Amino acid sequence: MAPRIGVVLFPGTNCEHDAVLALTRMGADAELVWHGATTLGHYDALILPGGFAHGDYLRPGAIARFSPVMGAVADYAASGGPVVGICNGFQVLTEAGLLPGALQKNRGLRFVCATVAVRVERDDTVLTGGVPVGTELAIPINHFEGNYTCDATTLAQLRDEGRIVLRYVDNPNGSVDDIAGVCNAGRNVVGLMPHPERASDPLLGSQDGTVLLGALLRSAGAAAPAA
């Protein structure tokens, strides 16, 4: 059976249809989940897509963290379910405390919209399982607040525990240690600034995003209860 993927829609999210389309074309049963939902257990994986949840008022993710769905997302993550936050979704996950650190304004106050090279650093997370370490992928980024920041203790912990999932080959935004994506201790919650759903068709200039989405679908299949 096709894995069921819930794509969480906050007011102001704007990449939800791209994510659903990319996953559907890859064989998933993907659908939108309104941020008022509080039951998520029937999904095999969740995606928090990009955009401007709640207008990014105050800080990106600061208000979204209090949406009703986030309690269910936290429970889902705690039970080991795969959760991926893309761009604004990554910001929401850090604000919610499901991932460490924060995304601050880009170095030099530059909004960056470009296809960049990212290197896979781990092959044991829900988004990179089975993807050889060192694989370089061309995936678009599109953000003003993607400059990953954390304190020295957290950074040392992320390195020691192998939780830096993706690094930029050529740092575009000032992120500490070139970090483009991190995961939680359980490796089932991953946040990344690049948009894999925007690199899912030759017409988009790159299909490299399907490497990550494919790994997520494999993880979702593995997480699915035996039929």
Partner 1 sequence: MGDPRRFSVQVEVLLREGIADPQGATIERALPALGLDGVTAVRAGKSFRFDVAATDDADALARATVVADRLLANPVIEESVVTVLPARTPA
Residue from 99, 130, 141 nearest 213 by CA: 130
Among 95, 178, 197, 208, the residue binding partner 1 under the rule CB under 8 A is 95
Closest CB to partner 1 among residues 124, 151: 151
Binding flag, residue 62, partner 1 (CB under 8 A)? yes
Among 27, 34, 38, 58, the residue binding partner 1 under the rule CB under 8 A is 58
Binding flag, residue 74, partner 1 (CB under 8 A)? no
| Catalytic (active site) residue 17 | no
Please give the structure tokens belonging to residue 133. 């370490």
Taking the complex as a whole, the smallest distance from the CB of residue 106 to partner 1 amounts, in Å, to 8
Which sign does the torsion angle of CA 61, 67, 70, 71 carry? positive
| Catalytic (active site) residue 87 | yes
> What whole-number distance in Å separates Cα of residue 216 and Cα of residue 188?
10
Among 51, 85, 101, 172, the residue binding partner 1 under the rule CB under 8 A is 101
Please give the structure tokens belonging to residue 216. 């997520």
Taking the complex as a whole, the smallest distance from the CB of residue 124 to partner 1 amounts, in Å, to 26
Binding flag, residue 184, partner 1 (CB under 8 A)? no
Taking the complex as a whole, the smallest distance from the CB of residue 66 to partner 1 amounts, in Å, to 8
Binding flag, residue 109, partner 1 (CB under 8 A)? yes
Binding flag, residue 153, partner 1 (CB under 8 A)? no
Selecting among 87, 95, 121, 150, the annotated active-site residue is 87
Among 2, 24, 52, 104, the residue binding partner 1 under the rule CB under 8 A is 104
Among 7, 30, 150, 213, the residue binding partner 1 under the rule CB under 8 A is 150
| Catalytic (active site) residue 95 | no
Q: Which residues bind partner 1 (CB under 8 A)?
A: 58-59, 62, 94-95, 100-102, 104-105, 107-109, 147, 149-151, 174
Report the catalytic residues: 87, 195, 197
